[in-house]
Amino acid sequence: MEYTDKVKDHFLNPRNVGEIEDPDGIGEVGSLACGDALRLSFKLDEKKRIKDVKFKTFGCASAIASSSALTEILKGKTLEEAEKVSNQDIANYLGGLPEEKMHCSVMGREALEVAIANYRGEKVKKEDFEVVCNCFGSRTERL
């Protein structure tokens, strides 16, 4: 697979790895088919902007790079702005992902959705997920 230099950099030097102590929101998702899992947590400042965001990912280079990129994208955003971040935005930030690895950016987007719902005290309705990865037929499931 061909990876961009930015994907390689975010994989080899991931940003914002870890967990936030006393987070405002936490989202956990995973893909049963490919074995990836992501835990995303964030803390808001007094103006309700994301002041800190961290992740822990178990997965491939694309999963780690996508998670790292997502945290960089989110810093300083309001929740309303963060909700507009798409998996394509994550892939674009990285200079692209191979099509068979796009499910990694979808996992990041879904973790964000779950984390924001957690902050708001909402439950995220579990849906039937469509296949998002052509290589392994993986489905992203919420943990």
- For the question of residue 104 being annotated catalytic, the response is yes
| Strand pairing report for 140-142 and 37-44 | unpaired
The whole-angstrom separation of Cα 77 and Cα 126 is: 26
The whole-angstrom separation of Cα 69 and Cα 105 is: 9
Unique residue bearing structure tokens 């996992």: 107
51 φ, ψ (degrees, to nearest 5): -95, -25
Q: From the candidates 60, 104, 133, 135, give the one annotated as an active-site residue.
A: 104
- For the question of residue 34 being annotated catalytic, the response is yes
Q: Annotated active-site positions, please? A: 34, 104
